Amino acid sequence: MGSIDRAFEPLSTLGSFHMIFTRLGRKNSAASTFALAIALATGGAFAVTALEAPAFAQKEKKEKKAKPQYSKGFIEAYKPLETIAAAEPVDYPAIKAGIPGLVAAVETDDDRYAAGSFIYSNGAKNQDQAASLQGMEMMLKSGKVPEDKIGQFNFVAGQVAYAAKNYAKARPYFQAAADAGYTENDPMIFVAESYFAEDQPQQGLTYLSDLINAKIAAGETVDEGWLRRGLAQAYNNQLNSEVRKYSTWYVTQHPSDESWRDAVAILLNTGGYQNPEILDLLRLGQRAGVLNDAKLYLEYMDAADYRRLPAEVVSLIDEGYAKGVLDKTDPYVVDTRRQAAERAVKDRADLAGLKADADKAGASIATVLAAGDTLLALSEPADAETYYAKAVNMPGANAPMVLTRLGIAQFDQGKLAEAKATFDKVEGAREAIANLWAIYATQQASGAAM
């Protein structure tokens, strides 16, 4: 049986990672952008009544304010449009036709705010994005927006621009909303989303990364939705360094079966690894208990190779049977287990001789490493650690691989601090694998994992 094609397997085989993409709909998603704007308009926040109280009509009446100063020309331009807007059914084309004259009549900031409120409210009700944005911008430029509403107004301006696909204009409004202290609906995530919508994933991920780093530096937990969104964007756009970064954040900030399954699956599919690396990555998935798919078990079986690590293959197949993941009637699995079981008996019988050869002063790196690998596969991690520790300093040793397996042997003994320290020494192509192992060891030591 050949190696399983991993080019894009997680969408079909790694269920939870697929769910990242299907769960990304948020309450503040772009699809509902204009709906929110309409709700705000019709709910009274920006509703226009008479000129005497053009903004925040119901709520603001309760607050004592200076009487607005409207110019005579503006009142003359406003009144006919107000009458049209109050009629049923509303003749919106007539209102829209009168907007240029209303704007031209503006003389004071109160005029500007009232005109903007009128234009925004009627534009939003009629799903006229251009008019809605024009009205919101006029209100913001008037200087008459109540201080405690500046963030909300900027957010809605950003949403209207976003809905109109004017992403470059939307960004500064979302940023201004955040700067004003507005936190509802995650205005900062919309800045990142505006880049994603423009097919600028790297720019969006860079902005989102800065937000995440700031949260982490402040000792705050990062919103899981941010991490899933960044991870999906990185994965879909094949930005593998970003994929690994977001995977690491995901399991660190929100350790769970789901996040660990996704992290292992993502690295498997983006790392470009060969069997030795795949073996040590899937060993992590097995220790974490997140292998839940037959293809992953078959991948693990191929990477372990029943001719090299037969005892581990037997244990793996038995685990797959017990979990109901592997089919007990699959000829390939049945035959592999049979041959692996036969070889495992021989490995145990030959183990004393292998250890004696590996203990010799002139033992080759191949012999010492074989002893470590065989002992680790036979679930004898303490003895395996001894041989890996010896092998790592020998000429010709593949240090990243030996250190990874030394760390695994330490992990399997419950020597979690030592394991993390060992994993932290791994460099090169295996660094991402070892980094996940180090995170998992730390979480196990603190009781935080899952």
Cα–Cα distance between 263 and 285 in angstroms, integer?
9
What the block records as the tokens of 256 is: 């769970």
Mean pLDDT of 398-402: 97
Give the number of other Cβ atoms within 10 Å of residue 140's Cβ.
20
Cα–Cα distance between 92 and 95 in angstroms, integer?
5
Going by the DSSP 8-state scheme, the letter that residue 30 receives in this structure is G
Write out the DSSP string of 103-115: HHT--SHHHHHHH
Burial class (CB in 10 A: 0-12, 13-18, 19+), 272: exposed
Question: For 221, left (φ over 0), alpha (ψ -120 to 50), or beta?
Answer: beta
Mean of all residue pLDDT scores within the chain: 86
Tens digit of each residue's pLDDT (9 = 90 or more) over 30-71: 333 333 333 333 333 343 433 443 343 344 444 556 788 899
What the block records as the tokens of 439 is: 């995170």
Mean pLDDT of 20-34: 31
Q: What is the dihedral of CA 137, 140, 146, 152, to 10 degrees?
A: 60
Q: Measure Cα distances from 291 to 263, 264, 300 in Å.
A: 12, 9, 10
CB under 8 Å, gap of 24 or more: what pairs does 119-124 form?
A: 120/41, 120/46, 121/41, 121/46, 121/47, 121/48, 122/48, 122/85, 122/90, 122/92, 122/95, 124/34, 124/37, 124/38, 124/40, 124/41, 124/42, 124/46, 124/160
Residue 449: per-residue pLDDT: 54
Mean pLDDT of 391-411: 97
Residue 450: per-residue pLDDT: 55
Burial class (CB in 10 A: 0-12, 13-18, 19+), 346: exposed
Higher pLDDT, 307 or 16: 307
Higher pLDDT, 47 or 170: 170
Cα–Cα distance between 317 and 49 in angstroms, integer?
73
Cα–Cα distance between 74 and 109 in angstroms, integer?
11
The answer to whether 85 and 48 are in contact (CB under 8 A) is yes
Cα–Cα distance between 69 and 51 in angstroms, integer?
10
Residue 49: per-residue pLDDT: 30
The residue among 285, 287, 312, 292 whose CA lies nearest residue 301 is 312
Tens digit of each residue's pLDDT (9 = 90 or more) over 420-446: 999 999 999 999 999 999 999 999 999
What the block records as the tokens of 28 is: 């503040």
Answer whether residue 448 shows pLDDT above 80.
Answer: no
Residue 180: per-residue pLDDT: 95
Residue 65: per-residue pLDDT: 63
Answer whether residue 245 shows pLDDT above 60.
Answer: yes
The answer to whether 299 and 281 are in contact (CB under 8 A) is no
- Could you tell me the pLDDT band of residue 398, with boundaries at 50, 70 and 90? very high
Find the farthest-apart pair of alpha carbons in the chain and give their distance in angstroms, rounded. 105
- Could you tell me the pLDDT band of residue 115, with boundaries at 50, 70 and 90? very high
pTM: 0.77
Residue 66: per-residue pLDDT: 72
What the block records as the tokens of 235 is: 């994965």
Tens digit of each residue's pLDDT (9 = 90 or more) over 58-113: 444 445 567 888 999 999 999 999 999 999 999 999 999 999 999 999 999 999 99
Range of lowest pLDDT (17-21, 222-226, 251-255, 296-300): 17-21
For the chain, give the percent of residues with pLDDT over 90: 81
The answer to whether 284 and 433 are in contact (CB under 8 A) is yes
Classify the C-alpha dihedral 248-251-252-254 as positive or negative.
positive
What the block records as the tokens of 420 is: 């993390």
What the block records as the tokens of 323 is: 């979990």
Tens digit of each residue's pLDDT (9 = 90 or more) over 174-221: 999 999 999 888 899 999 999 999 999 999 999 999 999 999 999 999
Residue 423: per-residue pLDDT: 98
Tokens 């932290």: give the residue. Answer: 424
The answer to whether 351 and 372 are in contact (CB under 8 A) is no
Residue 185: per-residue pLDDT: 84
Residue 68: per-residue pLDDT: 87
Write out the DSSP string of 248-284: HHHHHHS-SHHHHHHHHHHHHHHS---HHHHHHHHHH
Going by the DSSP 8-state scheme, the letter that residue 326 receives in this structure is S
Domains of the chain in start order, with CATH, are 9-25+186-254 (no CATH), 30-185 (no CATH), 273-446 (1.25.40)
What the block records as the tokens of 18 is: 């697929």
The residue among 429, 399, 401, 443 whose CA lies nearest residue 287 is 443
Residue 22: per-residue pLDDT: 25
Cα–Cα distance between 261 and 373 in angstroms, integer?
25
Cα–Cα distance between 438 and 221 in angstroms, integer?
20
The answer to whether 392 and 382 are in contact (CB under 8 A) is no
